[in-house]
Structure 1
Amino acid sequence: MTGILDELRALRAQDLPTHGGRTLAYVYDSGLAGLDELAAAAHALASSANGLDPTAFPSLLRMENDLVAAAARLLGGGVGAATSGGTESCLLAVLAAREGRPEVANPNMVLPSTAHAAFQKAAHLFRVRAKTVPVDAKTFRADPEAMAAAIDDDTVLVVASAPSYAHGVIDPITEIAAAAAARGVRMHVDACIGGWVLPYLRRLGRPVPEFGFAVEGVTSISVDLHKYAYCPKGVSVLLHADAESRRGHYFSSARWPGYTMLNTTLQSTRSGGPLAAAWAVLREIGDDGYLRLAGDTLEAVTRIREGIGEVDGLEVLGDPDSTLIAVGAASDEFDLFTVADEMKERGWYVQPQFAYESSPVNLHLTVTAANRGSEAEFLGDLRDAVAAARAAGPVTVDPGVAAFVAALDPDTLTAEQFAGLLAAAGLTGGSGLPARMAGINALLAEARPALRERLLLEFLGGLYQS
């Protein structure tokens, strides 16, 4: 048994660090001693329990109700369900909205172009057409008038973010919700990444606009507990204004000789482990603890944002409202993809984001409580990374390769074309990804979004070969 765990530790050593605040995407670290051990013990106690049947495992029912109630207290009420993560919460919000309007033959939903890709996934899965509305070119916030104009008789849902992932800004929730309510359309607020921290930031004096059920017209809200509630993955909560709205994503089937299947989410069998771990973490940290963690995060994000403004060649995109920062390049003297590589060599992971509409190539930073105290080190390494990128110069793509990419059709891409592109990127012979990704990211940046999707799906398929 010890040997197996040693092997697992060796495998995990290849991963990005999940503690210490050095991975500024994907993970959320409270920095609190003993919290991991508590969560792991709680997970182990309930991992074999099955959320498929709450009458067989009433402990899971109790814990889920407690988690939903905690989220409701933060966000102004509502009833809900615990899910496996933000994507499932967003999917269920769309499904419930579609099922709530069965008379609409060709339903659509109105999204700002900065809405999380989970809503595009929902559009694909549930055949609810996504009407994507460009955001303000400078602030990256949704345009309420344009959103209102996009609503029509087939619209079943309007979506806004609190905040958006890419830029950390809160959409004008009040105005958008009013437009949705005027047309009798449901309004979902994607607060997956901000729902647990923004109320505490408001208590600390940060000017956070209302985004929950206190806003008239808001009918559902998603909030992830494995983000700023610092619970292990994956637990999210989807809140609805009332039980009738929630019923649209419930499922039942008695049309077979086995047990009657009853599901509140997309899943049937659900391990009780994540629920129990989240329940334990929420009780351990408590309201005062979350306020302190929000204060640490606010201090860290403020210092990092101010420090970025002092790094020659960098700028913060938009005016972030929360704990996320998008870092852009103020000149074309260097390449941000190279900055990301240089930061990784210095022990930090910052997430490259490709250009889209008015948003240029940038680096995403998710700042957590664990970043408090290491701001100066991060900013010093960032300054050195920019200097190294400036010395290296912009990344260029061979004109012939760029022309080859421009000619590819995502709908007819062949295996031979994909192999040729891999060869052009130097990804042959099963060598895996190179240590430095700037050249590959620059190549991907040449591809329009539909082609980039197809290329990355083909690459993903190659990773999973067994």
Structure 2
Amino acid sequence: MPDDVLAELKALRAGDLPTHGGRTLAYVYDSGLAGVDELAASAHAMASSANGLDPTAFPSLLRMENDLVAAAIALLGGEVGSVTSGGTESCMLAVLAARDAHPEISAPSVVLPVTAHAAFLKAAHFFGVRVIAVPVDAGFRADPEAMAAAIDETTVLVVASAPSYAHGVVDPIPEIAAVAAARGVRMHVDACIGGWVLPYLKRLGAPVPPFDFRVPGVTSMSVDLHKYAYCPKGVSVLLHANAALRRSQYFASADWPGYTMLNTTLQSTRSGGPLAAAWAVLRHIGDDGYAKLAADVWDAVRAIRAGVGEIDGLRVLGSPDSTLLSIAAAGPDFDLFTVADEMKARGWYVQPQFAHLSSPVNLHLTITAANRGHEKEFLGDFAASVAAARAAGPVVVDENVAAFVAALDPDSLTPDQFAGLLAAAGLGGAAGLPERMAPINALLATAPARLRERLLLEFLGALYTP
């Protein structure tokens, strides 16, 4: 019976992190507005069976996509765009369009700061583009001079963030865009997180640096509607400065006996559900509604940032410009991985981030409008979690084990050896993760990035085994 199936689904969902109430400070975005979920679900159901593959067959989807793109253009500038399944697809398409616009370059490259989202590394991997990663300054912002020095005759795209995911800082877009324009290279601004909130924060008087198409030299931008437009997943918009720049993003094939395949994105068949849900939410909330949500989230950000500064042993990394905070330990007397465990025990999810180059281990906070009014509760539990972690002391990884793991070659280990390592790390089965992740994270932190990738991919394979 349908009710039985839904009851089973509800039971399965009971084990997930909460998606509402502001207690999961990563992965999800909650407006806190009543009725938005129901509206989105109804709109999704009305259009879920429609197929975005052919806009002439389903003109309603064409209309809704153009409306979403027009709304993004009104906010950020540009002339044309495409709706995608998410930020990663938008970023990948920006790289693909830049590569295919220069077929004469046999070994194309993309220049980006080391803080750029991993979606660009994925795009480079998929599309055979070399990555030239450039160090950032002490505040984790891209260095325009270093970016300029990295551009050469193979460069097809320069990337900057507004803001970067890891630290929430906006790169110096005008300087980087000017360098790219002077060299005749495309410039993409990854505003997947900031694109729908930074303009509203600027209206509120927040010191938002220039980042959109009003900056000369910016040729494309990505903005996710399932982030601070508070739409259901997954809907993103990739904007281009003009239609000529977008053309190399498209794919067409008539060289087979079926219909002529025409694709605007990486997908062919696309459900109309997410598109319709996003269209409905944008129309319902409206410009004034988004301004109010931005005011709420900005109040929450400032309160949490100030409160973190009053907790002994914590510090905010960099000078965040938006709604993301990364919190590091000010000393070695406790472990942030333990803090994350303690927060989870108190009903909050904060995202651990491993050390990378000049960025130390930290806890990432994605703050949304739903956090407004709950700042005191969050900060109280954060302070209590730090106190509990300090009482527990740092997580100690056996030196011999750490040395053994660090010396492993991820490319030469056998599946059996990986299984043993996963078991030793507490990741050896498909039954799920243990309640306390600090010992596992501390061990993974000793592994070089390539080995950590391989270990976690093996674990992912174990999870996705029926």
TM range (shorter): over 0.9
Local SS of the residue matching 1:81: strand
Show the counterpart of 1:84. Answer: 85
Show the counterpart of 2:127. Answer: 126
CA distance in 2 between partners of 1:459 and 1:247 (Å): 40
2:25 is equivalent to residue 15 of structure 1: no
CA distance in 1 between partners of 2:350 and 2:274 (Å): 27
Question: Match of 1:122, as an amino acid?
Answer: A
Number of residue pairs matched by the alignment: 465
CA distance in 1 between partners of 2:450 and 2:144 (Å): 27
- The answer to whether the Cα contact below 8 Å between 1:109 and 1:128 also exists between their aligned partners in 2 is yes
Question: Match of 2:418, as an amino acid?
Answer: F
1:272-283 to structure 2, matched below 5 A, reads 272-283=272-283
Question: Match of 1:414, as an amino acid?
Answer: T
Offset at residue 430 of structure 1 (A): 4.6
2:200 is equivalent to residue 187 of structure 1: no
User: CA offsets, 1:182-224, max 9 Å, x none?
Assistant: 1000000000000000000000000111111100000000000
- The answer to whether the Cα contact below 8 Å between 1:78 and 1:213 also exists between their aligned partners in 2 is no
CA distance in 2 between partners of 1:73 and 1:109 (Å): 28
Question: Match of 1:276, as an amino acid?
Answer: A
Question: Match of 2:13, as an amino acid?
Answer: R
2:96 is equivalent to residue 100 of structure 1: no
Local SS of the residue matching 1:325: strand
Show the counterpart of 1:242. Answer: 242
Question: Match of 1:239, as an amino acid?
Answer: L
Local SS of the residue matching 1:130: strand
Show the counterpart of 2:176. Answer: 176
User: CA offsets, 1:52-73, max 9 Å, x none?
Assistant: 0000000000000000000001
CA distance in 1 between partners of 2:429 and 2:359 (Å): 35
CA distance in 1 between partners of 2:428 and 2:95 (Å): 41
TM-score, with normalisation over the residues of structure 2? 0.99
TM-score, with normalisation over the residues of structure 1? 0.99
CA distance in 2 between partners of 1:236 and 1:106 (Å): 29
CA distance in 2 between partners of 1:108 and 1:461 (Å): 31
Offset at residue 158 of structure 1 (A): 0.2
User: CA offsets, 1:114-166, max 9 Å, x none?
Assistant: 00000000010001100000111x20000000000000000000000000000
2:56 is equivalent to residue 55 of structure 1: yes
User: CA offsets, 1:344-376, max 9 Å, x none?
Assistant: 000000000000010000000000000000000
Local SS of the residue matching 2:217: coil
User: CA offsets, 1:314-354, max 9 Å, x none?
Assistant: 00000000000000000000000000000000000000000
Offset at residue 304 of structure 1 (A): 0.1
Offset at residue 433 of structure 1 (A): 1.0
CA distance in 1 between partners of 2:422 and 2:290 (Å): 46
Offset at residue 77 of structure 1 (A): 2.7
Local SS of the residue matching 2:124: helix
Offset at residue 78 of structure 1 (A): 2.2
Offset at residue 413 of structure 1 (A): 2.1
Offset at residue 432 of structure 1 (A): 2.5
Offset at residue 428 of structure 1 (A): 4.0
- The answer to whether the Cα contact below 8 Å between 2:168 and 2:323 also exists between their aligned partners in 1 is yes
2:297 is equivalent to residue 303 of structure 1: no
Show the counterpart of 2:167. Answer: 167
CA distance in 2 between partners of 1:328 and 1:429 (Å): 31
Show the counterpart of 1:27. Answer: 28
CA distance in 1 between partners of 2:5 and 2:15 (Å): 16
CA distance in 2 between partners of 1:431 and 1:284 (Å): 41
Offset at residue 423 of structure 1 (A): 2.7
Moved over 3 A (4+): 426-431
CA distance in 2 between partners of 1:366 and 1:239 (Å): 24
Question: Match of 1:98, as an amino acid?
Answer: R
Show the counterpart of 2:217. Answer: 217
Question: Match of 1:17, as an amino acid?
Answer: P
2:323 is equivalent to residue 323 of structure 1: yes
1:132-151 to structure 2, matched below 5 A, reads 132-136=133-137, 138-151=138-151
Show the counterpart of 2:408. Answer: 408
Offset at residue 307 of structure 1 (A): 0.1
Show the counterpart of 1:6. Answer: 7
- The answer to whether the Cα contact below 8 Å between 2:114 and 2:135 also exists between their aligned partners in 1 is yes
- The answer to whether the Cα contact below 8 Å between 1:401 and 1:424 also exists between their aligned partners in 2 is no
CA distance in 1 between partners of 2:411 and 2:8 (Å): 42
CA distance in 1 between partners of 2:231 and 2:182 (Å): 38
Offset at residue 400 of structure 1 (A): 2.2
Local SS of the residue matching 2:133: strand
CA distance in 2 between partners of 1:267 and 1:121 (Å): 16
Show the counterpart of 1:206. Answer: 206
CA distance in 2 between partners of 1:287 and 1:77 (Å): 19
Of stretches 419-428 and 193-202 in structure 1, the one that deviates more from structure 2 is 419-428
- The answer to whether the Cα contact below 8 Å between 1:38 and 1:281 also exists between their aligned partners in 2 is yes
Offset at residue 425 of structure 1 (A): 1.9
CA distance in 1 between partners of 2:57 and 2:90 (Å): 24
User: CA offsets, 1:220-248, max 9 Å, x none?
Assistant: 00000000000000000000001011011
Offset at residue 76 of structure 1 (A): 1.8
Local SS of the residue matching 1:184: coil
- The answer to whether the Cα contact below 8 Å between 1:352 and 1:363 also exists between their aligned partners in 2 is yes
Show the counterpart of 1:113. Answer: 114
Local SS of the residue matching 2:95: helix
CA distance in 1 between partners of 2:462 and 2:125 (Å): 23
User: CA offsets, 1:7-65, max 9 Å, x none?
Assistant: 00000001000000000000000000000000000000000000000000000000000
Question: Match of 1:229, as an amino acid?
Answer: A
CA distance in 1 between partners of 2:285 and 2:389 (Å): 41
Change (3 A) 1:430 1:268: closer
Question: Match of 1:28, as an amino acid?
Answer: Y
Question: Match of 2:353, as an amino acid?
Answer: Q
Show the counterpart of 2:461. Answer: 461
Show the counterpart of 1:36. Answer: 37
